Amino acid sequence: MSEFTPHTSPSLAALDPLHRYCPRCRAPLTTDEIGGHERALCTACDYVFWGNPVPVVAALVEWQGQMILARNQAWAEGKFGLITGFLERDEAPDEAVRREVGEELSLVATSADLIGLYPFPRKNELLIVYHVRAEGEIVLNEELAEIRLVPPARLQAWDYGTGLAVADWLRRAGLGAQAG
Ligand SMILES: [Zn+2]
């Protein structure tokens, strides 16, 4: 998941083609305001696409005293973020974040402590961000192009998405002067 274009929320009209037609009756959708927000509504039946945010788990991984930042294969050179992923059905968020760390880095999570919850409007996501201590030998899966190991004192937050969690974690660790 890319996290590097700040804060603008796409209008529903810009949503993918799945949301141009009613999933129930195939009629075209239109948009209107319901409950103070723009929604996609069916022009033929009573279907409403509410467009509620999707929860996403993210891990600020600590391994051998260093923090892991990762570059997704889809991201530009030099763009690094946290390990992220979607929850599976019936999966608790802390289980999901441990699973993602295992899948993407091949590490075993030994703890997962919630840093906080952060809105990410551009992707209509709610980020559930954990500080995850992990051990093992790092093996990147196909999602990741490369990682960086950063000493906690040199970690720098960014001002949107998971970066807000990094800033909070730094502040609580007494390293807040680096944030921002
Ligand atoms: Zn319909």
Can you give the pLDDT at residue 177? 54
Ion ligand 1 neighbours (CB, 5 A) are 22, 24-25, 27, 42, 44-45, 47
Number of H helices and number of E strands within the chain? 2, 9
In the reported structure, the alpha carbon of residue 29 is separated from the centroid of ligand 1 by a whole-number distance in angstroms of 8
In the reported structure, the alpha carbon of residue 35 is separated from the centroid of ligand 1 by a whole-number distance in angstroms of 20
In the reported structure, the alpha carbon of residue 30 is separated from the centroid of ligand 1 by a whole-number distance in angstroms of 10
The total of other beta-carbon atoms located within 10 Å of residue 26's CB is 10
Can you give the pLDDT at residue 17? 59
In the reported structure, the alpha carbon of residue 19 is separated from the centroid of ligand 1 by a whole-number distance in angstroms of 11
Can you give the pLDDT at residue 11? 58
Which residues lie below 8 Å from residue 56, measured CB to CB, with a gap of 6+? 1, 84, 85, 86, 87, 120, 123, 125, 126, 127, 128
In the reported structure, the alpha carbon of residue 125 is separated from the centroid of ligand 1 by a whole-number distance in angstroms of 25
In the reported structure, the alpha carbon of residue 52 is separated from the centroid of ligand 1 by a whole-number distance in angstroms of 19
In the reported structure, the alpha carbon of residue 28 is separated from the centroid of ligand 1 by a whole-number distance in angstroms of 8
Can you give the pLDDT at residue 3? 43
Domains and CATH numbers, the chain: 15-49 (no CATH), 54-178 (3.90.79.10)
Stretches where the chain sits below pLDDT 50 are: 1-8, 178-180
pTM for the model: 0.84
Q: What is the pLDDT of residues 118-146, one digit of tens each?
A: 999 999 999 999 999 999 999 999 999 99
